[in-house]
Amino acid sequence: MNTFLDTVLSLFYPRRCPVCDGPVKPWNALICRECRPALTYSKPPRCMKCGKQIGDEEKEYCADCAGRVHFYDRGRALFAYSSVSDSIARFKYRGRREYAAFYAACMAERLGDFISACEADAFVPVPLHKSRKQRRGYNQAEVLARELSALTGIPVYGNLIGRVKKTAPMKELSAVERQNNLKKAFKILRNDVKLNTIIIIDDIYTTGSTIDAVSRELKNAGVEKVYFVALAIGRGM
C-alpha cells in the first residue's frame, strides 16, 4: 500500500534532483543519471584528523589540524564542498529535505566503513537555535541523521544537546571569531542518557569550530569518543 501511495505521490510531486533541482530522471531514482558526474567526492590523501583532502601524501594532517587541538577524535566528509555548495544551500534554505535520501545513501556507501569502525551508540545532529529552526521549519542535520539512521540502524538522539545561544552566521567569520561566536552556544539537555561513543552529523565542515564546541559539551558530559560525519568539506593544505 505504501509503495502504491509513494508512486502516486511521485507522479504529482516528483522528487527533485539534488544537482539540477529538476524532476529526477528516471522518476524513481534519487538523482538524475546525467547529473551524478557533477559531484566530486572527498578522496585520499586525507588529513588523519578531519578528513580534508590534502595535496601532499607525506603529510598526516592539514595545516588547520596541525596547528590546533580539536575536541573531537576523528571525522570524515562525503563531498568536496565546491561541487555541492548550491545543492546544500537548497537543502538548508529552500525546503529540499528530499535531498537527504540521496545524501544518506551516498554516505552509507562511501563512508560506511568509517561509520562502522566508530562503533557509535548514537548519531547526534548539530542543533539549530530554536528561532532559526522555527523560521526554517526543520534542522537539516537532523533530517540527514534520520535518513542515515534508517540505513545503518544507529539511533538518532536529536534532543541530547541544544543550541542555547543565537550565534552569528559562521561563513563570514574568521577562525578565531568562529570560536568566540560559539562560546557557551551549546548545552546538554538530557543527563539521563549514558552514551560512550557518538557520531556528530553536520552539513559542512570548515574549520571544525562547531564540531569542537559540540564535542566539548559531549565530552564534559561523559562521552568518551566523539566522531563526526559531514556532507561536505573544503580542501586542506
User: What domains, with CATH codes, occur in the chain?
Assistant: 1-38 (no CATH), 39-233 (3.40.50)
Tell how strand 225-233 and strand 161-163 pair up: unpaired
- Contact of 162 with 189, CB cutoff 8 Å: yes
Query: CB of 204 within 8 A of CB of 228?
Result: no
Chunked in runs of 10, what are the mean pLDDT values of the chain (237 residues)?
51 86 94 96 94 89 91 97 96 97 98 98 96 94 98 97 81 64 87 93 94 96 97 82
Q: What is the DSSP letter of 167?
A: P
pLDDT of residue 10: 54
Cα 191 to the center of its chain, rounded Å? 24
> Global pTM?
0.91
pLDDT for residue 112: 97
Q: Cα dihedral sign for 78, 217, 163, 123?
A: positive
Please tell me the distance from the alpha carbon of residue 149 to that of residue 108, in angstroms, as a whole number. 10
The whole-number pLDDT of residue 146 equals: 98
- What per-residue confidence (pLDDT) applies to 171? 63
Q: CA 128, CA 226: separation in Å to the nearest integer?
A: 19
Distance CA 88, CA 110 (A): 18
Residue 17, Cβ density class (10 Å: 0-12 exposed, 13-18 middle, ≥19 buried) = buried
* pLDDT for the residue 182: 80
For position 170, what pLDDT does the model report?
A: 60
